[in-house]
Amino acid sequence: MKNMMTTESVKRAVRSMTRLLAAGVIATAAAGLARAEEGTAPKAGQPEKTRVGTYDSRAVAVAYYRSEAWRLELRRHHAEHETAKAAGDTKRAAELEKWGEAAQEQAHRQTFGDAPIDNILVAMTNSLPQILKQANVQKIVASTMPREASVETVDVTALMMGQFHPDEKTLKIIEDLKQHPPTGAGPIPHKD
């Protein structure tokens, strides 16, 4: 029977597992010693802190909606809308008009309110692993998310905004926006 393990193969597997376990214990101990030398190791009896990146969702939203990536998205939808109108496809043209209205409302809720920026995070999917590594954090959450005492926060807003290459005017808008509290996730009142 080919699937039966012999006594010798069991012994080899156990020795191999023991070596792997020992290597893991040594690596963990070495990391702990290095952290102790840096003064970042948790005190005895305290849980190890988890490093979590946090971001100002409004700042990231402003950087995104003023970016070339967003301008290209708008141009694509506008061109599709013009094509639909020229072809007499009123149904598709109406769908694209609704998309434009919904996108504008979402942008307002995200930049002036505290609406989640999930659509922007999707657009950042490829750059998020790099941000995690660069900031040395395990995960990234909005700065408004509640945190446990065992969490060490690192602000990654600038790293996230940097993915959209904000110009000086955008950075000034973001700085000015920080002076005003979010309006909430509901509809944004428009001044007429």
Give the residue extent of every domain in the chain: 50-177
Instruction: Give me the pLDDT at residue 184, please.
Output: 63
Q: What is the mean pLDDT of residues 100-127?
A: 93
Report the C-alpha gap between 79 and 118 in whole angstroms.
25
- Count of C-beta atoms within a 10 Å radius of residue 62: 24
pLDDT band at 80 (very low <50, low <70, confident <90, very high): very high
Tokens found for residue 26: 């040594």
Instruction: Give me the pLDDT at residue 42, please.
Output: 52
Report the C-alpha gap between 19 and 140 in whole angstroms.
35
Q: What is the mean pLDDT of residues 54-82?
A: 95
SS3 116: coil
∠ CA(39), CA(134), CA(52), 5° rounding? 65
Strands 50-55 and 139-142 turn out to be parallel
Instruction: Give me the pLDDT at residue 173, please.
Output: 95
DSSP H/E element including 32? helix 7-38
pLDDT of 9 higher than 80: no
| pLDDT, tens only, 117-151 | 999 999 999 999 999 999 999 999 888 766 777 78
| pLDDT, tens only, 11-48 | 454 344 434 333 333 333 334 444 444 445 555 556 67
pLDDT of 65 higher than 90: yes
Tokens found for residue 153: 């926060």
| pLDDT, tens only, 147-164 | 777 788 999 999 999 999
Q: What is the number of residues in the chain?
A: 192
Please classify residue 49 by burial: count the beta carbons closer than 10 Å to its beta carbon, then call 0-12 exposed, 13-18 middle and 19+ buried: middle
pLDDT of 6 higher than 80: no
DSSP H/E element including 52? strand 50-55
